[in-house]
Amino acid sequence: MALELPKDKWSGSVQEVVIGATAADGGTRTAAVTVGGETTMPFVHFEAETPNRPVLALEIKDFRPNDWSTLLLDVWGEATNDPGAWAKAAEEAGADLLLLSLSLTDPEGNPNTPEAAVKAAKAVLEGSGLPLMVYGPGQAEVDNELLVPVANACQGERIVLGICEDKNYRTLVATAMANGHLVVGRAPMDVNLSKQLNILIKDAGLPLDRVLMDPTTGALGYGIEYGFSVMERLRLAALRGDAMTQSPMSVNVGFETWKTKESKVGDDVPETWGDWEERAISWETITAITLIEAGADIVILRHPESLKRVRAAIDNLITAPELS
Virtual CA dihedral for 211, 303, 82, 129, nearest 10 degrees? Answer: -50
The number of residues that bind other proteins (CB under 8 A) is 17
The contacts of residue 70 (CB under 8 Å, 6+ apart) are none
Q: Of 78-86, 95-103, 190-198, 290-298, which segment contacts other proteins by CB under 8 A?
A: 190-198
Helix ranges, 259-303 (H): 261-264, 276-293
- Phi, psi torsion values for 306, nearest 5 degrees: -60, -45
Q: Of 26-34, 73-81, 212-220, 233-241, which segment contacts other proteins by CB under 8 A?
A: 233-241
Of positions 104, 196, 264, 318, contacts other proteins by CB under 8 A: 196
110 touching other proteins, by CB under 8 A: no
Q: What is the DSSP letter of 111?
A: B
234 touching other proteins, by CB under 8 A: yes
13 touching other proteins, by CB under 8 A: no
Of positions 32, 243, 265, 313, contacts other proteins by CB under 8 A: 243
Closest CA to 220 of 191, 250, 187, 257: 257
Of positions 158, 181, 195, 302, contacts other proteins by CB under 8 A: 195
Interior angle at CA 245, CA 29 and CA 257, nearest 5: 65
199 touching other proteins, by CB under 8 A: yes
Distance CA 17, CA 15 (A): 6
237 touching other proteins, by CB under 8 A: yes
233 touching other proteins, by CB under 8 A: yes
Q: Of 5-13, 93-101, 140-148, 234-242, which segment contacts other proteins by CB under 8 A?
A: 234-242
Which residues are registered as beta bridge partners of 133?
99, 160
Q: Residue 307: left if φ>0, alpha if ψ -120 to 50, beta else—which one?
A: alpha
Distance CA 159, CA 26 (A): 12
Q: Which one, 203 or 268, has the nearer CB to other proteins?
A: 203
118 touching other proteins, by CB under 8 A: no
Closest CA to 151 of 132, 126, 176: 176
Distance CA 92, CA 304 (A): 10
Q: Which one, 169 or 283, has the nearer CB to other proteins?
A: 169
239 touching other proteins, by CB under 8 A: no
189 touching other proteins, by CB under 8 A: no
Q: Of 73-81, 85-93, 172-180, 189-197, which segment contacts other proteins by CB under 8 A?
A: 189-197
242 touching other proteins, by CB under 8 A: yes
200 touching other proteins, by CB under 8 A: yes
Q: Which one, 85 or 237, has the nearer CB to other proteins?
A: 237
192 touching other proteins, by CB under 8 A: yes
Secondary structure (DSSP) of 158-206? -PEEEEEBTTB-HHHHHHHHHHT-EEEEE-SS-HHHHHHHHHHHHHTT-
Q: Of 103-111, 178-186, 214-222, 235-243, which segment contacts other proteins by CB under 8 A?
A: 235-243
Q: Coil, strand or helix: which one is 99?
A: strand
Q: Which one, 12 or 37, has the nearer CB to other proteins?
A: 12
Q: Coil, strand or helix: which one is 109?
A: coil
313 touching other proteins, by CB under 8 A: no
Q: Of 107-115, 185-193, 249-257, 280-288, which segment contacts other proteins by CB under 8 A?
A: 185-193
Q: Which residues bind other proteins (CB under 8 A)?
A: 190-193, 195-196, 199-200, 203, 233-234, 237, 240, 242-245
